Amino acid sequence: MSIAVSAGLLILFTIVALLLLGIPIGITLIVASILAITQALGFSAAIPSSALKMFQGINIFTLMAIPFFILAGNIMNKGGIAVRLINLATAMTGRIPGSLAHTNVVANMLFGSISGSGTAAVSAMGSIMSPIQKKEGYDENFTAAINIATAPTGLLIPPSTALITYALASGGTSVAALFLGGIIPGVLWGISCMVVAFFYAKKRGYVGKQSISINEFVKVTLDAIPSLLLIIIVIGGIVGGIFTATEGSAIAVVYSLLLSILLYKTITLKELYTILIDSAKLSAIIMFLIGASNIMAWVMSFTGIPNMMADVILGISDNPIIILLAINILLLFVGTFMDLTPAILIFTPILLPVCLALGMTPLHFGIMLTFNLCIGTITPPVGNILFAGVKVSGRKLEHVMPQLLRFYVSIFVVLLLVTYVPWFSTFLPSLAGYR
């Protein structure tokens, strides 16, 4: 048995066993990696080598963007922007049948991208929109389903910590290009769900809200502009080369602080302390995962596992369409039991060489990978957005799932478009000069 096969089987069995025992994923990755590399180097060499690789994995300047964006998102979450964005979304959806459902979708796309958190979006929008839709006679299970189904759009629409993580794992794909590449797929995700909601609303007789006057539309738009400017400033600055993604994340923190404390006056110093603590905890968890995953990536590279997996996948068929479909099915399965960040860190070095051999660019693969794994956040058994949305709605999972199935179908159709039509991921980056 080759070293790649034996190491791969040992890693697989160790990860499965430890996860079933309830061991945290970060510790699981470290233990599995050390056991696998011990086969080749011996225990005395495996421990210091693993510690060094873990340090090297987090000693990267670009990674500073992640805690800054997390902090900015937490500040914005507490800063009173949800209601302003909902008012804007309501004005935009007008008299469309099921307008409250469409409002939920648009608000999720706006709030999710600003906060950078699908969980924050599903919680904020669910707590505000669910009572309104219930009052208007909407099916509460449908209300919960559309809120859950569209919350992950903010993980694709920049600024996105998931895309920053992929940029690291892929060996230096441009963060700016990834940010631009995620916009169209993220918007298509939301639009596909709006199409489903439109026909459901027509069938159930959910009428649109009354149109608002021009003056009211201008008022709610002006009220929301300061929040929306965060996206324009950060993304525009990064794409325009004015500052790096890391510098942009720091600017996002300063801007969100000024907005929440001085303009909206919704955050006190006591609340700011809590926000800082929560942001530090989440940042530490993600950094630990990145460090642990870097050990795993090194072990895989050392033992030749990515090359072995590439040969296996490419051996399935000579048809690129079949191979990409198999990769999508694999990732959809992985996403059902693994969180987004570790999945990106683990499967990027395995699958990227395969997709490059099929003619994909790292940019296109990154958007496909992230889109695919985002679906896992709204699927059982471990979808964090799914369970947060169900909890906020007060409904039972078994009652919400039948409504979610119709949205899964529409999202999967968009996934296939993103997979087989590179234009959706590469058009905006190409306009900005990225390849």
Tell the residue number behind the tokens 């992950």, with chain if given.
Answer: 152
Is residue 272 domain-resident? no
Confidence of residue 210 (pLDDT cuts 50, 70, 90): low
The residues near 392 (Cβ < 8 Å, ≥ 6 apart) are: 122, 123, 126, 127, 130, 144, 147
Residue 1 has pLDDT above 60, yes or no: no
Residues 133 and 243 in one domain: yes
What is the model's pLDDT at position 420?
97
- CA-closest candidate to residue 305, choices 56, 113, 45, 37: 37
Q: Print the domain residue range for 26.
A: 1-59+286-303
The residues near 371 (Cβ < 8 Å, ≥ 6 apart) are: 156, 185, 189, 414, 415, 418
Q: pLDDT tens, 247-293?
A: 888 888 888 888 888 887 888 888 888 889 988 888 888 788 778 87
Q: pLDDT tens, 351-386?
A: 998 899 889 999 999 999 999 999 988 988 667 788
Residue 181 has pLDDT above 90, yes or no: yes
DSSP state of 432: T
Residue 182 has pLDDT above 90, yes or no: yes
Residues 332 and 371 in one domain: yes
Is residue 401 domain-resident? yes
Q: pLDDT tens, 120-140?
A: 788 777 877 888 888 888 899
* Cα–Cα dist 287/292, whole Å: 9
Is residue 277 domain-resident? no
What is the model's pLDDT at position 307?
72
Is residue 279 domain-resident? no
Residues 41 and 116 in one domain: no
The residues near 351 (Cβ < 8 Å, ≥ 6 apart) are: 309, 313, 327, 331, 365, 369
Q: What is the mean pLDDT of residues 89-104?
A: 80
Residues 72 and 178 in one domain: yes
Confidence of residue 421 (pLDDT cuts 50, 70, 90): very high
Instruction: Name the CA radius of gyration of the chain, rounded.
Output: 22
* Cα–Cα dist 382/304, whole Å: 30
Residues 159 and 229 in one domain: yes
Is residue 69 domain-resident? yes
8 A C-beta contact, residue 303 and residue 36 = yes
How many distinct structural domains can be found in the chain? 2
Is residue 278 domain-resident? no
What is the model's pLDDT at position 106?
87
Residue 211 has pLDDT above 70, yes or no: no
Confidence of residue 404 (pLDDT cuts 50, 70, 90): very high
Residues 208 and 337 in one domain: yes
CB count in 10 Å sphere of residue 7: 26
Compute CA distances 297 → 46, 56, 127, 156, whole Å.
14, 12, 40, 24
Residues 180 and 237 in one domain: yes
What is the model's pLDDT at position 7?
79
| Strands, E assignment, 269-362 | none
Is residue 281 domain-resident? no
Residues 292 and 145 in one domain: no
Residues 95 and 218 in one domain: yes
Residues 51 and 153 in one domain: no
Residue 203 has pLDDT above 90, yes or no: no
pTM for the whole structure: 0.81
Which segment of 26-30, 174-178, 192-196 scores lowest on mean pLDDT?
A: 26-30
**Phi, psi angle pair for 159, to nearest 5°:** -75, 140
Confidence of residue 190 (pLDDT cuts 50, 70, 90): very high
Bigger pLDDT: 424 or 231?
Answer: 424
* Cα–Cα dist 193/95, whole Å: 17
- CA-closest candidate to residue 235, choices 184, 178, 283: 178
- The token duo for 342 is 């570790």
Q: How many H-runs (helices) and E-runs (strands) does the chain carry?
A: 21, 0
Q: pLDDT tens, 136-145?
A: 888 999 999 9
Q: What is the mean pLDDT of residues 315-324?
A: 88
What is the model's pLDDT at position 115?
67
Is residue 274 domain-resident? no
- The token duo for 372 is 């695919």
Confidence of residue 234 (pLDDT cuts 50, 70, 90): confident
Residues 253 and 359 in one domain: yes
DSSP state of 210: P
Residues 109 and 232 in one domain: yes
Q: pLDDT tens, 157-174?
A: 888 888 988 998 898 899
